[in-house]
């Protein structure tokens, strides 16, 4: 029995050494509100860097929110770094504000752009990287476009909208509740004109409540097609066929606005970058299933784009 125990311990030690990571990990504070994780591959040459920007809501560097843990952005970062690309992913400022119980009620969409620009400037000044790419997921796609202009060496949109967010909201509301579609259109029209309103159905309060109207108005001033058209850099646009939030059509709209961009549609990939075999129920549940692996084709496509 003693011999078996010794053998088991030896195997554990051997496996531990055999699984040594191919990258180093460092926690960085970029600004008062922006903290993140830098992964650096253990290679002999100066690596390329990918800055990963999270989507809407209080989303942290790993792609998670309070009751939704999928680690999608963490898995994306690790997958890229295992292929020789340095990555930096960071918590959105609202995450730290919630933790400190110091929430800025006047936060704007442009604050997210300023944060992404600060991150990009930080790493450009470091001069430790061959090229710097910006990867924006969902809402982060538009944030990434705005921050990447004239600064980054390339831009990657993951599940990013091509239409103005106001029009996207109208389409989504109409699809889920056709009777509310006209009301959503009316309210969006007012917000696009910079007009506040208290006249909206209670069912749309999470979209148009008084505490979020200024943020939404600011967001609606930016049109993704106009911005991506102005980007003079390599561009990769990726979307999945099972994305419940951002349809393939949105990716095609982005592609149509910049004919130099490369478009990749990944079969069965959903909004949180998992490949789904089943229907909408499995799709929705996956948002809180961190045991899943993200799409291998996603990693392969981004690595090929950055290293080409």
The 10s digit of each residue's pLDDT in 28-83 is 999 999 999 999 999 989 999 999 999 999 999 999 998 899 999 999 999 999 99
Q: Is the pLDDT of residue 12 over 70?
A: no
* Residue 171, phi then psi, degrees to nearest 5: -65, -45
Q: State how far the Cα of 293 lies from the Cα of 290, in Å rounded to an integer.
A: 8
Percent of the chain with pLDDT over 70: 94
pTM for the full predicted model: 0.92
The two beta strands, 23-29 and 35-41, are antiparallel
Q: State how far the Cα of 30 lies from the Cα of 25, in Å rounded to an integer.
A: 16
Q: Is the pLDDT of residue 10 over 70?
A: no
Radius of gyration (Cα) for the chain, nearest Å?
21
Q: State how far the Cα of 201 lies from the Cα of 180, in Å rounded to an integer.
A: 8
Q: Domains of the chain (ranges plus CATH)? A: 20-164+222-307 (3.40.50.1820)
Between residues 52 and 18, the one the model is more confident about: 52
Q: Is the pLDDT of residue 7 over 70?
A: no
The two beta strands, 49-53 and 132-137, are parallel
Per-residue pLDDT band for 152 (boundaries 50, 70, 90) equals very high
Q: Is the pLDDT of residue 14 over 50?
A: no
Q: Is the pLDDT of residue 144 over 90?
A: yes
Tokens found for residue 40: 């650096």
Could you tell me which of 286, 184, 294, 190 has the C-alpha nearest to residue 245? 286
Tokens found for residue 85: 């690309």
Angle between helices 165-176 and 178-192 (to 10 degrees): 160
Give Cα separations from 197 to 165, 184, 246 (angstroms).
Answer: 18, 12, 27
Q: State how far the Cα of 178 lies from the Cα of 173, in Å rounded to an integer.
A: 7
User: Which residue bears the tokens 């609606």?
Assistant: 220
Residue 136 in 3-state DSSP?
strand
The string of pLDDT tens digits covering residues 105-138 is 889 999 999 999 999 999 999 999 999 999 999 9
Q: State how far the Cα of 146 lies from the Cα of 227, in Å rounded to an integer.
A: 7
Q: Is the pLDDT of residue 3 over 70?
A: no
- C-alpha angle 25/269/137, rounded to 5°? 50
Could you tell me which of 129, 134, 139 has the C-alpha nearest to residue 154? 134
């Amino acid at each position: 029995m003693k011999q078996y125990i010794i053998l088991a311990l030896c195997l554990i030690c051997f496996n531990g050494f055999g699984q040594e990571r191919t990258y180093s990990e460092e926690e960085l504070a970029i600004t008062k509100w922006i903290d993140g994780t830098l992964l650096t591959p253990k290679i002999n040459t100066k690596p390329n860097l990918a800055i990963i920007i999270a989507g809407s809501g209080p989303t942290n560097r790993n792609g998670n929110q309070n009751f939704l843990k999928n680690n999608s952005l963490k898995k994306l970062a690790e997958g890229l770094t295992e292929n020789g690309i340095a990555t930096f992913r960071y918590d959105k400022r609202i995450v730290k504000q919630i933790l400190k119980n110091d929430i800025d009620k006047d936060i704007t969409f442009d604050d997210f752009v300023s944060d992404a620009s600060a991150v990009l400037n930080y790493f450009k000044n470091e001069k430790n990287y061959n090229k710097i790419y910006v990867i924006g997921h969902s809402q982060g796609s538009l944030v990434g476009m705005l921050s990447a202009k004239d600064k980054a060496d390339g831009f990657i949109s993951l599940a990013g909208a091509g239409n103005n967010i106001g029009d996207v909201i109208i389409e989504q509301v109409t699809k889920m509740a056709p009777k509310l579609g006209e009301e959503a259109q009316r309210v969006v029209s007012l917000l696009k004109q910079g007009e506040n309103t208290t006249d909206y159905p209670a069912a749309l309060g999470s979209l148009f409540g008084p505490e979020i109207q200024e943020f939404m108005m600011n967001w609606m001033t930016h049109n993704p097609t106009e911005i991506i058209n102005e980007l003079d850099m390599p561009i990769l646009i990726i979307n999945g066929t099972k994305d419940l939030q951002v349809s393939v059509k949105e990716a095609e709209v982005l592609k149509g606005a910049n004919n130099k961009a490369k478009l990749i549609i990944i079969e069965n990939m959903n909004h949180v970058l998992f490949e789904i075999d089943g229907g909408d129920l499995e799709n929705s549940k996956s948002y809180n299933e961190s045991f899943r692996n993200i799409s291998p084709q996603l990693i392969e496509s981004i690595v090929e784009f950055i290293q080409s």
